[in-house]
Amino acid sequence: MITMTVFRTGGGTYQGFLCSGHAGYAKSGEDIVCAAVSILVINTVNAIERYGNQEFACDEDTERGMIRFTLKKSPTEETKLLLDTMLLGLKEVEREYHGAYLKLIFREV
């Protein structure tokens, strides 16, 4: 299962996220759930880098299926929109597969 933990302040301001695990929907190279989550997450990080006017740190471990993304300051409006959009897609993946392959967790920091 993929676990996506989103870190936010008590006021709902994004601080970052940790995405880890493998969906287990199908074998490697054929797992459409893993591919969907990967595309949403990687495209968001790339878009924030290009359009977000935002400093961040990003670490990854492809073998473990892990991406850790941390904002260095409060999110810009562009970054907030991009993260909201990523979460919209991830919530749809979670809903479509009834939480069997992706679990979204929101943690207050």
Confidence of residue 28 (pLDDT cuts 50, 70, 90): confident
CATH number of this structure's domain 2-108 = 3.30.70.1490
Round the average pLDDT of the chain to a whole number and report it: 96
Domain-wise residue ranges, the chain: 2-108
The model carries a pTM of 0.95
For residue 64, the model assigns a pLDDT of 87
- Give strand pairing partners of 20: 3
Of all residues in the chain, the percent with pLDDT exceeding 70 is 100
For residue 92, the model assigns a pLDDT of 98
Q: What are phi and psi of 81, to 5 degrees?
A: -60, -45
Q: Kind of pairing, strands 102-108 and 2-8?
A: parallel
For residue 47, the model assigns a pLDDT of 98
For 43-96, write each residue's pLDDT tens digit: 999 999 999 999 999 999 988 889 999 999 999 999 999 999 999 999 999 999
Burial of 11 (0-12, 13-18, 19+ CB in 10 A): exposed
For residue 63, the model assigns a pLDDT of 83
Neighbours of 102 (CB within 10 A): 26
